[in-house]
């Protein structure tokens, strides 16, 4: 049976690849895609989500736009995705904003006969708003799978914080403080998995290969300039992959809190790393994902016609 999911996302190159992976794997029943401002504006992230679904011939999957800014702060956009959020592809579709992502998340959960998994690939603004609006309904989720955070490695937005958590730390604090089951895919698991242009050239589906290459060339250039990494980091596809192949993941439970007030540590995911932690674990952290398994499966799934 397919895994029923909602994808909350801010496309973004790696978000686009994650959506492709989720759909082409044919292992998920994607109930909806909800969008949030993060990598780019809500207009761009929503436009980009719709465009990716068009490339996949899956415009039957509904897209609902959500928060245009963090809970308490102004939006800080990512640099590496370019002005459109998908530089190189630069979709021109109408964004067709619905501005009801929170309500739709709650409605889909409430009316589902199965327990849903919420896959969060961007800032946690929509997720936190849904919790504040109707926590009882959100508690019906099977789990929330989150791309975000840095546990034992440096941040990619400041010295200690990963971008998604940095953008809206107050939203992340609400989500991490909840007792809903959570799985975290942090930079620790993502930094060691990199794909090159040569890897993307192995994709056999020509309809997807061309737009993917159009996106990945500027992505690799931009991420090399910004982070000194000469390959495409696969943050969001790895988050989806953790559901596809849990056996490829090393997982450990931690108690993780989010720093919201620090001048130098905004958005830090502070894990209790002491030998005897003082608080019970509140999140399952994926510390490592097999690069070999991911590359093989990613190329195989996206090569499907």
Q: What is the pLDDT of residues 176-190, one digit of tens each?
A: 999 999 999 999 999
Count the neighbouring beta carbons within 10 Å of the beta carbon of residue 20.
Answer: 25
Q: Is the pLDDT of residue 201 over 90?
A: yes
Helix (H, G, I), strand (E, B) or coil at 246: helix
Q: What architecture is domain 3-303?
A: Alpha-Beta Complex (3.90)
CB 205 within 8 A of CB 304: yes
- C-alpha span between 138 and 127 (Å, rounded): 9
pLDDT of residue 230: 87
* Angle at CA of residue 186, ends 161 and 288, nearest 5°: 140
pLDDT category at 242 given cuts 50, 70, 90 is very high
Q: Which residue has the tokens 């975000």?
A: 148
Tokens for 77, please give them. Answer: 């956009």
- C-alpha span between 201 and 209 (Å, rounded): 7
Cβ neighbors of 144 (< 8 A, separation 6 or more) are: 117, 118, 119, 120, 127, 175, 180, 181, 182, 183
Q: Which of 11-20, 226-235, 259-268, 293-302 has the lowest mean pLDDT?
A: 226-235
Q: What are phi and psi of 304, to 5 degrees?
A: -65, 140
- C-alpha span between 23 and 28 (Å, rounded): 7
CB 89 within 8 A of CB 214: yes
**Where in the chain are the domains?**
3-303
CB 268 within 8 A of CB 262: yes
CB 114 within 8 A of CB 74: no
Cβ neighbors of 61 (< 8 A, separation 6 or more) are: 23, 30, 32, 33, 53
CB-side neighbour CA atoms (13 Å) of 19 = 34
In tens, the pLDDT along 1-34 reads 899 999 999 999 999 999 999 999 999 999 999 9
CB 267 within 8 A of CB 157: yes
Tokens for 1, please give them. Answer: 């049976």
- C-alpha span between 98 and 301 (Å, rounded): 31
pLDDT of residue 46: 98
Q: pTM for the complete prediction?
A: 0.97
* Angle at CA of residue 272, ends 117 and 154, nearest 5°: 80
Cβ neighbors of 81 (< 8 A, separation 6 or more) are: 12, 13, 39, 40, 87, 219, 222
- C-alpha span between 24 and 21 (Å, rounded): 5
Q: Which residue has the tokens 């619905």?
A: 98
């Amino acid at each position: 049976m397919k895994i029923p999911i909602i994808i909350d996302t801010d496309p973004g190159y790696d978000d686009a690849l994650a959506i492709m992976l989720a759909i082409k794997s044919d292992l998920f029943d994607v109930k909806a895609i909800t969008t949030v401002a993060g990598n780019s504006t809500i207009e761009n992230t929503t436009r980009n989500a719709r465009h990716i679904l068009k490339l996949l011939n899956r415009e039957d999957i509904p897209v609902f736009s959500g928060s245009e800014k963090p809970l308490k702060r102004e939006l800080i956009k990512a640099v590496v995705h370019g002005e459109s959020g998908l530089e190189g592809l630069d979709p021109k579709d109408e964004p067709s904003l619905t501005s009801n992502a929170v309500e739709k998340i709650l409605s889909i959960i409430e009316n589902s006969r199965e327990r849903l998994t919420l896959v969060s690939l961007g800032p946690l603004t929509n997720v936190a708003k849904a919790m504040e609006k109707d926590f009882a309904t959100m508690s019906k989720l099977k789990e929330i799978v989150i791309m975000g955070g840095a546990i034992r490695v440096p941040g990619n937005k400041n010295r200690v914080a990963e971008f998604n958590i940095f953008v809206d730390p107050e939203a992340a604090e609400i989500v991490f403080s909840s007792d809903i089951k959570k799985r975290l895919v942090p930079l620790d698991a993502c930094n060691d998995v990199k794909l090159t242009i040569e890897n993307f050239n192995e994709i056999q589906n020509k309809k997807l290969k061309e737009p993917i290459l159009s996106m990945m060339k500027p992505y690799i250039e931009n991420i090399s300039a910004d982070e000194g990494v000469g390959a495409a980091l696969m943050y969001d596809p790895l988050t989806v992959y953790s559901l596809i192949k849990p056996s490829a993941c090393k997982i450990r439970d931690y108690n993780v809190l989010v720093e919201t007030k620090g001048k130098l540590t905004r958005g830090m995911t502070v894990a209790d790393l002491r030998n005897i932690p003082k608080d019970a674990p509140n999140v399952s952290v994926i510390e490592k994902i097999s690069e070999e398994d991911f590359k093989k499966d990613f190329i195989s799934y996206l090569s499907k016609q």
